[in-house]
Structure 1
């Protein structure tokens, strides 16, 4: 059975890029969200195996959403996505329970490595 993934990013283009990498490699993207509040909603609705979560988003940022999802499911597997230069936020995210992080622009092999490692 293919692993089910929720893709969260405020940029539709970034969601499309990561979705493309995932679907080409046998993963199923069960839902997409454009901000942290939507991410929590979609997480409850779909209960995915893994979430890729952008850090910087409007409404609710990725770290806040990460903490909320972790409250609902302490075993949630979340990989943060960040632009270069957000190291402090990446550290916050890891301390809040993120399993890994991917730097934008996405490189397919790095995305797949992070996901493979997190799901194994």
Structure 2
């Protein structure tokens, strides 16, 4: 099973995602409530996958996605948002997100997407300073 970093500014949403992921056998190795924290946690943990909310304070999910992928080109990030605006979805995918889930998140859909994203392997390469 995969190691996962859960990023969302809502504690309720993080707890719900953690529960769904752990019930599916994944290990949630960290949580972050904004993009700045997400990047720092990614550097430290280098998880197999990140679930990333789009709208967050300090640094939104789109900026965090770009920053993580700039340093870790093979990072697997699945964006999650209540905003169904086509522009947000398309921009996330164009920037390198592996998929986009609209809130509220259904457990079956979440696990189907994670299985699909991780199907190609879990290895990453880093160009970030050590």
TM-score clears 0.5 = yes
Residue of structure 1 in register with 2:128 after alignment? none
Q: C-alpha displacement at 1:8, in angstroms?
A: 0.2
Paired residue total? 119
Q: Is 1:63 matched with 2:62?
A: yes
Q: C-alpha displacement at 1:23, in angstroms?
A: 0.3
Residue of structure 1 in register with 2:9 after alignment? 10
Kept after mapping to 1: 8 A contact 2:50/2:78:
yes
Residue of structure 2 in register with 1:93 after alignment? 92
Q: Is 1:81 matched with 2:116?
A: no
Q: Segments of 4+ in structure 1 off by > 2 A?
A: 84-87
Deviations 1:26-70 (A, max 9, x none): 000000000000000000000000000000000000000000000
Residue of structure 2 in register with 1:20 after alignment? 19
Structure number with larger C-alpha Rg: 2
Tell me, in whole angstroms, the C-alpha distance in 1 between the residues paired with 2:98 and 2:113: 9
SS of structure 2 residue aligned to 1:75: coil
Q: What 5-or-longer segments of structure 1 have no aligned partner?
A: none
TM-score, normalisation: structure 2: 0.89
Q: What 5-or-longer segments of structure 2 have no aligned partner?
A: 120-130
TM-score, normalisation: structure 1: 0.97
Q: C-alpha displacement at 1:86, in angstroms?
A: 2.7
